[in-house]
Amino acid sequence: MSSLLLTLPLKMAVAAGIVVVVSMIAERARPFFAAMVATLPVSAGPSLFFLALDHDDAFLQATLIGAMVANLASCAYVLAYANLAQRRPLVVALGGAIVCWVIAGSVLRPIPWTLLGAIGATIALYIVMLRLVEPFTKAPRPAATPRSRYALLMRATGVSCLVALVTLTSAHVGPYVSAFLAVFPIVLSSLVVILHPRIGGPATAAFIASAVPGLAGFGAGLAAAAASVPYTGRFGALGMGLLVAVAWNSALALWKARRAG
Of 24-28, 70-74, 254-258, which gets the smallest average pLDDT?
A: 24-28
First-last CA distance in the chain? 50
Residue 142's pLDDT is what?
A: 56
CA distance 202 to 200: 6
**Mean per-residue pLDDT, 205-220:** 92
Instruction: Pick the more confident residue, 234 or 29.
Output: 234
Mean pLDDT of the chain: 82
For 118-174, the pLDDT digits (tens) are: 999 999 999 999 999 998 887 665 555 555 556 667 667 766 776 677 667 766 666
Q: Which residues contact 22 (CB under 8 A, 6 or more apart)?
A: 34, 37, 38, 42, 187, 191
The Cβ of residue 116 has, within 10 Å, a number of other Cβ atoms equal to 10
Question: Do 51 and 170 contact (CB within 8 A), yes or no?
Answer: yes
Q: What is the pLDDT of residues 50-65, one digit of tens each?
A: 778 777 888 889 989 9
Q: Please write the tens of the pLDDT for every residue from 234-257.
A: 999 999 999 999 999 999 988 888
| CA distance linking residue 27 with residue 68, whole number of Å | 29
Q: How confident is the model at residue 46 (pLDDT cuts 50, 70, 90)?
A: confident
Reduce the DSSP state of residue 29 to 3 states and report it. coil
Q: What is the residue extent of each domain of the chain?
A: 2-260
